Amino acid sequence: MNGLRQSHLRDFIEYGFEVAMVRDATAGASNEEGDGHEAALINWRFLAHALWTTAEAVRRIEATQVCAVA
């Protein structure tokens, strides 16, 4: 449910975290009133510090792990 992810996003931001949402690792319902996933992406663009793809998130996580080991 997109509302739950958005609630967590807001909580993390309020606690001072920089948050990146992964756009292609979530889904949302669609009905005659619209596309819930597209609506969530629009909201996340305004709230999150970044909106990444899964590939970008994995690349950044792996790069961080390499730096931590060095």
Place of tokens 């663009």: 45
24's CB contacts (< 8 A; 6+ apart) are 53, 54
pLDDT tens for residues 13-64? 999 999 999 988 887 788 888 888 888 888 888 889 999 999 999 999 999 8
| pLDDT tops 80 at residue 4 | no
Residue 47 CB-density burial (10 A; 0-12 exposed, 13-18 middle, 19+ buried)? middle
- Report which secondary-structure segment, H or E, holds 50: strand 50-52
pLDDT class for 5, splitting at 50, 70, 90? confident
